[in-house]
Amino acid sequence: MRRLPRALPLLGAGLWAPAGAPGRASEDGLSGTGGTAPAPDRLRPSPGRGRGGTVRAWSELFRVSALFSVPGDALAGAAAVGRRPGRGTALAIGASLCLYEAGMALNDWADREEDAVDRPHRPIPSGRVAPSAALGAAGVLTAAGLALAARASRPALAVATGLAATVWAYDLHLKHTKAGPAAMATARSLDLLLGATATAATARSTGDNVAAPVASVRDALPAALALGAHTYGVTAVSRHEAQGGSTAVPLAVLATTAALGAAVLTADRAARTSPPAARAARAGALGEPRPARAKSPGEHTPVRTGGSGDHQLVRTREPGAHRPVPTRGPGEGRATRPHHLTPADLLLTAFTGAYLRTAGPPLLHAALNPSPPLTQRAVGGGIRAMIPLQAALATRAGAPGSGLAVMALVPLARALARKVSLT
């Protein structure tokens, strides 16, 4: 089986769960080099048993420093449906974290024999975590994630079930096939939709007038597709990490990255600043004719005059009266008013710039020189770029506070990565 390199899990972030995509680190276990792996129950236990060693082993198995890209999905999903983060968002984050960690444990369990050859220091082949314990943890965490989603709503449970099925299918089979990148992209998109449906459903249950779950998914779909497209590109590049030699793939992903950044920046400002419910109400008001109502004698009718936008009250026309005609002020035309930058606009520009700056240059270098080291750096850059992309999507949807909260996770992820290896 093809040997896959170590860059993928860098910030823990870009890809959904298994730090071991096709495109997983070389020591992540997809790289059989021949020979017969020792049976897991006969693997030599490593020193360092005890409470401290056990905590360390499980932290490595779960790659806890890889968790910081997960909350941004739910926060971006909540912003996409025009709601502030609430109980449903918290439940979605909890469900996502459980399913993410289930994927990590299942990933190492599925690759335990390859890891015994190529990564003997990993918790399972080193004997610090039993294979049965890792598989059991994956099952328990999956059940916990689904239970948390069910607490939010039935639509959230449906999305979480699809997410869990994708994670298990990827770990057990799809990562070895050409469908691996699509599976990773699907999982990341579903994670954002989980945050959207859970947030909208719980807000509705507390009396807020929000769109139906189907409408919530529709509102969040553009952001989910953006995250999925980025994830697909990173996974596609990662499939060439070990051998290098691909120029076309990094170039195509670079073009996709630029297109995503442009799409985020050029989003309509009204779409970013008004909630989906308000947009739907506005669309219905504009699209549905109102029934005519007879005016009583002497009733006042507002007529727009001049360029000031004020309304002038005039009496309804009586026989022989002159009909008032709306007029424009001197120099007033049809051009829209100039758009003034707001703090949210500046944040959106900064987050999008951070996304492009993090993902773009490594991809360009890999395209110019598709060597394994530069290809691995391109994958690492794509992973690190996930967090600013989530922040930009939340800010574009009108939630700059959520964007700042997502970006605040970057230094925390880096600090924990120094203590617990991502691979």
Per-domain boundaries in the chain: 65-268+342-347+379-417
Judged by DSSP in three states, 351 sits in helix
Where is 77: in which H helix or E strand? Answer: helix 71-80
pLDDT at 192 over 60: yes
Q: What is the mean pLDDT of residues 188-209?
A: 81
Residue of 274 and 367 predicted with greater confidence: 367
pLDDT for the residue numbered 297: 52
Helix, strand or coil, per DSSP, at residue 311:
strand
Cα–Cα distance, 294 to 220 (Å, whole number): 42
pLDDT digits (tens, 9 = 90+) for 93-104: 999 999 999 999
How much is the average pLDDT of 137-166?
A: 96
Fold of 65-268+342-347+379-417: Tetracycline Repressor; domain 2 (1.10.357)
pLDDT recorded at residue 286 = 33
Confidence bin at 285 (pLDDT 50/70/90): very low
pLDDT of residue 123: 93
Which one, of 390, 406, 75, 382, lies nearest residue 232 by Cα? 382
Question: What was the pLDDT predicted at 188?
Answer: 95
Q: Which of 103-117, 134-148, 209-223, 271-285 has the highest mean pLDDT?
A: 134-148
The pLDDT value given to residue 8: 41
Residue 255 has pLDDT above 60, yes or no: yes
Q: Which long-range contacts (CB under 8 A, 24 or more apart) does 372-378 make?
A: 372/5, 372/241, 372/242, 372/243, 372/244, 374/244, 375/5, 375/7, 375/237, 375/240, 375/241, 375/244, 375/246, 375/250, 376/5, 376/6, 376/7, 376/241, 377/7, 378/237, 378/250, 378/253
Of residues 419 and 128, which shows the higher confidence score? 128
Predicted local distance difference test score (pLDDT) of residue 51: 58
pLDDT band at 298 (very low <50, low <70, confident <90, very high): low
pLDDT score for 415: 80
Cα separation, 1 vs 420, whole angstroms: 28
Mean residue pLDDT of the chain comes to 76
Model confidence at 336: pLDDT above 90: no
Question: Is 241's pLDDT higher than 80?
Answer: no
Asked if residue 223 lies in contact with residue 74, where contact means CB atoms within 8 angstroms, the answer is no
Q: Which of the pair, 8 or 92, is modelled with greater confidence? A: 92
Question: What pLDDT is stored for residue 141 in this prediction?
Answer: 97
Across 69-94, average pLDDT: 94
Which residues, listed in sequence order, are joined to residue 216 by a DSSP beta bridge? none
Average of per-residue pLDDT across 333-344: 65
Contact call for residues 407 and 351 (beta carbons, < 8 A): yes
Beta bridge mates, 315? 300
**What is the model's pTM?**
0.72
Percent of the chain residues past pLDDT 70, beyond the cut? 66
Residue 213 pLDDT > 80: no
Check if the beta carbon of residue 363 is closer than 8 Å to that of residue 250. yes
The per-residue pLDDT for range 359-412, each reduced to its tens digit, is: 999 999 999 998 888 998 898 889 889 999 999 999 999 999 999 999 999 888
